[in-house]
A and B are shown apart, each in its own frame.
Chain A
């Protein structure tokens, strides 16, 4: 039966909750601005996201009530379901804008590649926590985690959704580096990775993906097509100046020069309207949230908790970094949302669940009370 430890409440992670609420509030303010219809107020997108955010908070609560070790074990079930959904998407879903990402559930377009990230963290945490090898992992110890990452990676890359596939890969790499590796394993792996990158560029990337990367390297040469998004995003950010154009006053966003302004490029709208000052405030919240997440990973009482917290933090961190770099013209346009900030139900709920996991680890970091056992 459900057993409630009073200390759970005492150790409730108010810091993370505060950060999430702050970021969430900014996200909603920004979403209102980027999607509102002049003279008519908020768009349906705004209310939808508000609903998602509420749902996200409920998910946080649900995750909190469960032992994260249990959740990690359940990860395999989630992982299995998601693999099925990913295969289903590839086989039966009609492509939207050239890729098969969404499953229409009627009330909600599920993007199974989003929860994949979380499922991956869960199964990897569970796997690494239970795999104990003295002096660090050998190459053969990585076969199982390798397979765990490869299945969803291939399926997602096939959609094609390079951004999400990339995030999955980075999370895998981060987690694997976080646990103990032998030096020899590390050397072999990094050599292989370099080789794969080369082969992938040469043979596996689709033409448009390669084009995106090439364009990124020289965006001004191709302004009307692939460079357009990066250019417009940079203009939006740059024209924000120090204090921004003000709420609802951004021209790049409202005049629709900015592509994907409520999803992947949401931060550009923020930067345009709130300027350098607002952006730095926003980034500080983010930074604090991530650093707090690392702190939680450190304070975890067991391996599983630490890996989980670290994985979830890295999930948020890498998505944020890739998204921000893309918006500011450091990276090519890959479809990676800014966690909690970008519009999108699948992404928001996934990230909220990740936050819930971090909070759960935090709350359970104290030693088990003698009374409970």
Chain B
């Protein structure tokens, strides 16, 4: 009992246990233990100090981390767990003037790798290559391309995979922890390659574009408009990206969805283009495998109803980046599909230029409508003979017949009287030699030669003989098909030069009109209504008189629509060896370009159509029928629309009919052998050989 009590006390003050044992003397411990145990006591105290020191340091450190810097680590923890991934905005749709969908979006499925571990695991790579049926080198290359980008941006490994592949990847979800399927809106072209040059295509943003772009808007891997309106109207179409904010774990798996920011869809574009007309234009060109351009434009506004460059671009080849092979094939194609011939093709206007010469002559008073010129089939100037396309000559012609039958000698004469510089001044009034400013890329300005121009360009004096070539649209003259259409519109509408437009309106995602087309006048030719009307009459003759060169463009007997137009042939090259060959034996690339430009209805023109067929030989036979088809469709639709609107036939402008009769009356039909305009009108211009074509 006594012992027990003592032991209880000991329990209370254990530190002195050893000493107590010594003091009491009760202990039977061996002596050596006692001495060492007292030594241990000192060591134990040291260790006690060490222990306290370490714990103090640890608590201090805890205080520092959790309290002092707690806020900082809170932020780090948040940025750890919160990831935001861009949600692509649905791109704006593109509609035609009647609201028909040309380009819209569809969901596409991409396979992306979320680089959480940033380590490529052989196992999933192998599995993925099998599922995607791609080789690992392709995938690795894509990963390598993204090497420099921030880690939380997904790497796109495969784009636009089909449903079956999506299902297969989803089935393998467990084995592909960092692989996700991303849904991205992709362009869908409802009319295939229709208007491909105008609309353009989209592609993954490249390094140069990314460097120039606003970093807040674009990231690597984004799609961006690469050509056409997709590129030019990128800002309207792209919308605003949203973001998917989520809590992720260290492996990048989404744990919890946080508040998302919805993407804002892009603005819709309504084009001035009418799909029906555009389709005719492209189908007609494609049917004969022709290269060239077709432009249909409203004469009084500048709205482009059709702008076709043939052959079409195959947009599907551009999706996901065009292959080197396909690109080379396009470069090597003699029909040059990459060139938007509407604005990038420059051709001598040929006889389509004659209305300009005629107008200049009338306006300057060097000729009157009745000034007769005798055409013996050629004209002697200097020591050279300049031939008319019609070897036998036209006999005595006045303005109207000269335009109708495209008499070269008449225009040589007018041109000589005007001189090159006066002619050039008038040409510019029609928009020639100047970019139209239409929303298409890499537009060419064409060339309106003058003595000053030649001096500057070649540092050579102007030869008057060259004026003869210029007067008939050969020589240095170069125009784009759009310029010819614009020129025709100026003639048709009585002197107003409109800027051609392709976008009717831009509509916001919530339906608000951002931008509505307003006709834009570039310049006017004042006080020349009468002279322009005379030129129009000549062009009406060209289509409607028995020996007119553009008879193929006649349309629509029942509605009495009269077309006025002008054919043209642009010499590509003049080589003696081909001169006596039959046309079809001349190699394709040396055949002449065929022009036809026209307006209708003759009395009160609404629409202008210009057709250029590269190496099409004759404007009258190759180009005019296409123009006629477009006009037919245009008026069919128009009258169908009017009928639907229950408009009485009486509401048709009476003027047209009157003018029609007037035209017929004024048509004097001189007997002629060849109703078709020949292709040799540029025989008279030997210097053409050196010209660019």
Chain A residues with Cβ below 8 Å from B44 are 178, 294, 297-298, 310
User: Are A310 and B40 interface neighbours, CB within 8 A?
Assistant: yes
State A224–B118 Cα separation when bound (angstroms). 9
Chain B residues with Cβ below 8 Å from A306 are 37, 40
User: Within 8 Å of chain A (Cβ to Cβ): is B514?
Assistant: no
Q: Nearest-CB distance from A277 to chain B (Å)? A: 9
State A268–B48 Cα separation when bound (angstroms). 26
Stretch binding the partner chain, chosen from A23-31, A113-121, A189-197, A250-258: A250-258
State A224–B150 Cα separation when bound (angstroms). 13
Closest to B75 in A: A239
State A238–B76 Cα separation when bound (angstroms). 9
Q: Nearest-CB distance from A34 to chain B (Å)? A: 13
Q: Nearest-CB distance from A282 to chain B (Å)? A: 10
Stretch binding the partner chain, chosen from A73-81, A211-219, A317-325: A317-325
User: Are A271 and B27 interface neighbours, CB within 8 A?
Assistant: no
User: Are B48 and A291 interface neighbours, CB within 8 A?
Assistant: yes
Closest to A322 in B: B54
Chain B residues with Cβ below 8 Å from A321 are 54, 58
A280: contacting residue among B7, B41, B62, CB under 8 A: B62
User: Are A298 and B66 interface neighbours, CB within 8 A?
Assistant: no
A298: contacting residue among B32, B33, B40, B65, CB under 8 A: B40
Contact indicator per residue, chain A 283-319, by CB within 8 Å of chain B (1) or not (0): 1001100110011111111110011001000100100
User: Are A239 and B4 interface neighbours, CB within 8 A?
Assistant: no
User: Within 8 Å of chain B (Cβ to Cβ): is A20?
Assistant: no
User: Are B51 and A290 interface neighbours, CB within 8 A?
Assistant: yes
Stretch binding the partner chain, chosen from A57-65, A161-169, A200-208, A365-373: A365-373
State A224–B61 Cα separation when bound (angstroms). 24
Q: Nearest-CB distance from B436 to chain A (Å)? A: 56
A237: contacting residue among B3, B73, B247, CB under 8 A: B73
User: Are A303 and B61 interface neighbours, CB within 8 A?
Assistant: no
Known contacts A252-B80, A275-B66, A298-B14: does B43 contact A303 (CB below 8 Å)?
no
Closest to A302 in B: B33
- Classify chain A's interface size: 35 or more
Chain B residues with Cβ below 8 Å from A85 are none
Q: Nearest-CB distance from A259 to chain B (Å)? A: 8
User: Are A241 and B250 interface neighbours, CB within 8 A?
Assistant: no
* Main SS at interface, chain B: helix
User: Are B48 and A237 interface neighbours, CB within 8 A?
Assistant: no
User: Within 8 Å of chain A (Cβ to Cβ): is B384?
Assistant: no
Stretch binding the partner chain, chosen from B15-23, B465-473, B563-571: B15-23
Chain B residues with Cβ below 8 Å from A236 are 77
Closest to B30 in A: A302
User: Are B40 and A366 interface neighbours, CB within 8 A?
Assistant: no
Closest to A365 in B: B17
User: Within 8 Å of chain A (Cβ to Cβ): is B382?
Assistant: no
A301: contacting residue among B29, B65, B70, CB under 8 A: B29
A251: contacting residue among B10, B27, B58, B80, CB under 8 A: B80
State A245–B171 Cα separation when bound (angstroms). 37
User: Are A294 and B61 interface neighbours, CB within 8 A?
Assistant: no
User: Are B40 and A178 interface neighbours, CB within 8 A?
Assistant: yes
User: Within 8 Å of chain A (Cβ to Cβ): is B666?
Assistant: no
Contact indicator per residue, chain A 235-275, by CB within 8 Å of chain B (1) or not (0): 11111111000000001101111100000000000010001
Closest to B15 in A: A298
Chain B residues with Cβ below 8 Å from A179 are 36
Q: Nearest-CB distance from A149 to chain B (Å)? A: 19
B62: contacting residue among A174, A255, A271, A301, CB under 8 A: A271
- Classify chain B's interface size: 35 or more
User: Are A180 and B72 interface neighbours, CB within 8 A?
Assistant: no
Contact indicator per residue, chain B 54-75, by CB within 8 Å of chain A (1) or not (0): 1101110111011101101110
A283: contacting residue among B4, B55, B73, B77, CB under 8 A: B55
Q: Nearest-CB distance from B530 to chain A (Å)? A: 81
User: Are A11 and B51 interface neighbours, CB within 8 A?
Assistant: no
Contact indicator per residue, chain A 15-27, by CB within 8 Å of chain B (1) or not (0): 0000000000000
Contact indicator per residue, chain B 595-621, by CB within 8 Å of chain A (1) or not (0): 000000000000000000000000000
Closest to B80 in A: A257
Chain B residues with Cβ below 8 Å from A302 are 29-30, 33, 37
User: Are A328 and B65 interface neighbours, CB within 8 A?
Assistant: yes
State A251–B79 Cα separation when bound (angstroms). 11
B66: contacting residue among A279, A299, A367, CB under 8 A: A279
User: Within 8 Å of chain B (Cβ to Cβ): is A7?
Assistant: yes
User: Are A295 and B14 interface neighbours, CB within 8 A?
Assistant: yes
Chain A residues with Cβ below 8 Å from B28 are 367-368
Chain A residues with Cβ below 8 Å from B72 are 238
Known contacts A239-B73, A255-B249: does B59 contact A283 (CB below 8 Å)?
yes
User: Are A328 and B61 interface neighbours, CB within 8 A?
Assistant: yes
Known contacts A180-B36, A287-B51, A298-B14: does B67 contact A328 (CB below 8 Å)?
no
Known contacts A303-B37, A367-B21: does B249 contact A276 (CB below 8 Å)?
no
A279: contacting residue among B27, B33, B62, CB under 8 A: B62
Chain B residues with Cβ below 8 Å from A280 are 59, 62
User: Within 8 Å of chain A (Cβ to Cβ): is B633?
Assistant: no
User: Are B33 and A235 interface neighbours, CB within 8 A?
Assistant: no
State A241–B55 Cα separation when bound (angstroms). 19
A235: contacting residue among B47, B62, B77, CB under 8 A: B77
Residues in B439-485 with C-beta less than 8 Å from chain A = none
Chain A residues with Cβ below 8 Å from B57 are 330
A234: contacting residue among B18, B63, B73, B247, CB under 8 A: B73
User: Within 8 Å of chain A (Cβ to Cβ): is B656?
Assistant: no
User: Within 8 Å of chain B (Cβ to Cβ): is A177?
Assistant: yes
B7: contacting residue among A7, A238, A252, CB under 8 A: A7
Chain B residues with Cβ below 8 Å from A330 are 57, 61
Chain A residues with Cβ below 8 Å from B120 are none
A367: contacting residue among B26, B36, B249, CB under 8 A: B26
Contact indicator per residue, chain B 126-145, by CB within 8 Å of chain A (1) or not (0): 00000000000000000000
Residues in B578-593 with C-beta less than 8 Å from chain A = none
User: Within 8 Å of chain A (Cβ to Cβ): is B39?
Assistant: yes
User: Within 8 Å of chain A (Cβ to Cβ): is B251?
Assistant: yes
Q: Rank and list the top 9 A-B pairs by shortest CB-CB distance, nearest first.
A: A238-B73, A299-B17, A239-B77, A255-B249, A241-B70, A256-B250, A238-B65, A257-B250, A276-B66
Residues of chain B touching chain A, judged by Cβ–Cβ distance below 8 Å, are: 3-4, 7, 10-11, 14-15, 17-18, 21, 26-30, 32-33, 36-37, 39-41, 43-44, 47-48, 51, 54-55, 57-59, 61-63, 65-67, 69-70, 72-74, 76-77, 80-81, 118, 247-251, 255
A-B contact pairs, 5 of them (CB 8 A): A232-B250, A283-B62, A295-B15, A302-B37, A317-B51
Residues of chain A touching chain B, judged by Cβ–Cβ distance below 8 Å, are: 7, 10-11, 132, 174, 177-180, 224, 232, 234-242, 251-252, 254-258, 271, 275-276, 279-280, 283, 286-287, 290-291, 294-303, 306-307, 310, 314, 317, 321, 324-325, 328, 330, 365-369
